Amino acid sequence: MVNKKVELDQAAKQFLEGLEFINQHPMFAPLAYHAQFVRKEGNLCPEQGWSVVTVNGQIHVHPKKRAESQEWVYILAHCLLHLGFGHFQEKERPDLWNAACDVFVAKFLGDMKLGKPPKDMDAGIDISVKTEDDLYRGFLERGLSGGFYGLGTAGHGCTDMLLKPPKSNYWDRKVNWQECFGKGLAMAVSSAVKVSAGYEAYLGAEKEALTLAQKAKNWFINSYPLIGALAADFKIIEDPILCQRLSISVAAVDAEMKEIYMNPAAGLDEQENRFVMAHEILHVGLRHHARAEGRDPYLWNVACDYVINHWLLEMGLGAFPRVGGLLDPELKGLSAEAIYDRIVTDMRLYRKLATFRGVGLGDIMEPRTPDWWNRKDGISLDEFYRSALSQGLVYHEEQNRGLLPAGLVEEIKALAQPPIPWDVELAKWFDHYFSPIEKIRTYARVSRRQSSTPDIPRPRWIPNAGDEEGRTFGVVLDTSGSMDSKLLAKALGAIASYSISRDVPRVRVLFCDAAVYDQGYMAPEDIVDRVAVKGRGGTIIQPAVDLLESAEDFPTKGPLLIITDGYCDRLTIRREHAFILPKGQYLPFVPRGKVFRI
């Protein structure tokens, strides 16, 4: 006897859970509010059925049937949809009309994937269903096939829509059920938008109060289009234990995983959360993780922090955190690259500064896979970051959401442009050091005489004497075993062509692996020809640099071009220089010079 009571209580619990889900679902809540659910002995539900619905909005549920809560969701939604779709109509064949309506509702719920149909109602509708009237006419012409039996909630041989309830029924309400269903559809669309934006939890999930960080994220999505698109795509992680394990004191961002870590132990209020979250999002949107270009990662992070924090204060976005942050009025208006060049002069001081992650740690998280940025997924993610920030700038300006710092606008617009090819940047490097040689007219060697006037000598244009002196540069080729031969070929071809076009008569060439092989001065035309590359051992470039800097026959202001794959020790270079590297390869030291990536 006790076991039976427990089973009945469990059955009632499952029914009430399903009913609660329906009452909370935005599409069905207006219908359920006006309907009446009857689950007691002697109601109108047939013995073999699950439920029936009356024209006046009563849903009679079998009092003894046991089902899972999701099955009750399906059954109750089926009955409510009969009301919402206006299925209570007088027809010549009520049984076929009810069957057509059951098929239509079953197809609708199947497409929604709402609830779980009981086994005796799970027929699976794989046909194209247009309207109930089309189905009804088809059933009148061809009859009701076996696959369409048993889709109603009243059981086999019974209709689940009662057009004429018993006269003794006291429930008599006049409700515009179609209008209620229309309101439900509008509420469902609005709820779907809020769920996808993270503003509210999806139905059935545990509902918790929004944290201050989540409120800050929702504010960006709803009110600040410049950052809203990027904020919507990032997951906020607020786990104090995980933050402690990762040494995150306030916040950090992972561009690869699209995650922002916010340590709740920092005690930020809502305005401070906005400031810190915008700070982390701008790190990613402005590609600070990819723009390091071989610089020291932490010092580059510090330089970017100074720039972002000044911009956020100018924008009035949130409040500067009380727990700290990097801010220096003397660095206001400078770019991250310019600030970096300043702070590397005193590394010992700046390594003691704290980013939002902590002392000596950058709040731009290191990638979990070293080559993720070079893979296709990294490139596509980079395109998304740049396009989201560029589109956000357009929306921000169109909607007049507030003034933005000129430096921030310039950086966003610059990132929207395609990157300059490496050979174009190399050509600009040549232009900087080797301006065109001024030519003069001279009669010392006359030009070809014209046949019409052979007695008139004409001067020719020649380079001014002495301008070619010192017009050279040094090339250090990394010929170690790890060096790619294709990289050498591309770099040497570009160097030779640019040297010829800019009247560079000779180039000092050195091969270098574990030892230095001085090739002396070579004409650019000879570089294009076959060159017997010596080396293919280890990588030690410093001796080659020292040789050029101490050579008496090399100009004191002659620049250097170093072609390497990046696997070399720290270099000390006291003259202007540049590196040619493979794409994605970074130097393990601060180059302090121009870097071209093939």
Report the Cα 381 to chain-centroid distance in Å.
5
Q: What is the mean pLDDT of the chain?
A: 82
Beta pairing partners, 507: 522
Digit-coded pLDDT (tens) for 58-87: 999 998 888 899 999 999 999 999 999 999
% of the chain residues with pLDDT over 70? 83
First CA to last CA across the chain, in angstroms?
82
pLDDT at 10: 80
* Angle in degrees, 0-180, between the axes of helices 69-84 and 177-196, rounded to the nearest 10: 130
Helix (H) or strand (E) holding 460: strand 460-463
The Cα–Cα gap between 38 and 49 comes to 14
pLDDT at 200: 60
Q: How many of the other CB atoms lie within 10 Å of CB of 448?
A: 7
- State mean pLDDT over 195-203: 56
% of the chain residues with pLDDT over 90? 18
pLDDT tier at 5 (50, 70, 90 boundaries)?
very low
- State mean pLDDT over 171-198: 76
Q: Residue 183 above 80 pLDDT? A: yes
pLDDT at 1: 41
- State mean pLDDT over 135-156: 82
540 burial via Cβ count (<10 Å: 0-12, 13-18, 19+): middle
- State mean pLDDT over 118-129: 73
pLDDT tier at 193 (50, 70, 90 boundaries)?
low
Backbone angles phi, psi at 362, to 5 degrees: -85, 140
What is the token pair recorded at 267?
Answer: 């005690």
Lowest-confidence pick of 35-39, 187-191, 259-263, 299-303 = 187-191
Digit-coded pLDDT (tens) for 378-409: 556 667 777 788 888 887 888 777 788 888 88
CA dist 542 → 164, 443, 570 (Å): 98, 49, 8
The Cα–Cα gap between 28 and 380 comes to 40
pLDDT tier at 4 (50, 70, 90 boundaries)?
very low
Whether 220 contacts 227, CB under 8 Å: yes
- State mean pLDDT over 11-31: 89
pLDDT at 463: 63
Digit-coded pLDDT (tens) for 493-502: 888 888 888 8
Digit-coded pLDDT (tens) for 282-297: 998 888 877 776 678 8
Q: Which residue has the tokens 């109509």?
A: 89
The DSSP 8-state label assigned to residue 479 in this structure reads: -
Q: Residue 253 above 90 pLDDT? A: yes
The Cα–Cα gap between 598 and 593 comes to 16
Whether 135 contacts 129, CB under 8 Å: yes
131 burial via Cβ count (<10 Å: 0-12, 13-18, 19+): exposed
pLDDT tier at 588 (50, 70, 90 boundaries)?
low
pLDDT at 33: 87
What domains are defined for the chain? 2-185 (no CATH), 212-416 (no CATH), 439-445+457-597 (3.40.50.410)
Query: Which residues fall within 8 angstroms of residue 583, CB to CB, at 6 or more apart?
Result: 374, 597, 598
Q: Which residue has the tokens 């696959």?
A: 147
More confident position, 457 or 67: 67
DSSP E strands, 493-576: 507-512, 516-522, 560-563
pLDDT at 534: 60
pLDDT at 259: 92
Digit-coded pLDDT (tens) for 310-339: 999 999 999 999 888 899 888 888 888 888
The Cα–Cα gap between 578 and 598 comes to 13
For the sheet containing 51-54, what is the strand order? Answer: 36-38, 58-61, 51-54, 161-162
The Cα–Cα gap between 44 and 67 comes to 19
The Cα–Cα gap between 229 and 2 comes to 58
The Cα–Cα gap between 324 and 272 comes to 11
Lowest-confidence pick of 112-126, 134-148, 531-545 = 531-545
* Angle in degrees, 0-180, between the axes of helices 94-112 and 132-142, rounded to the nearest 10: 130
What residue type is 204 in one-letter code?
G
Tell me the residue length of the chain. 598
DSSP E strands, 245-378: 251-254, 259-262
Whether 264 contacts 319, CB under 8 Å: no
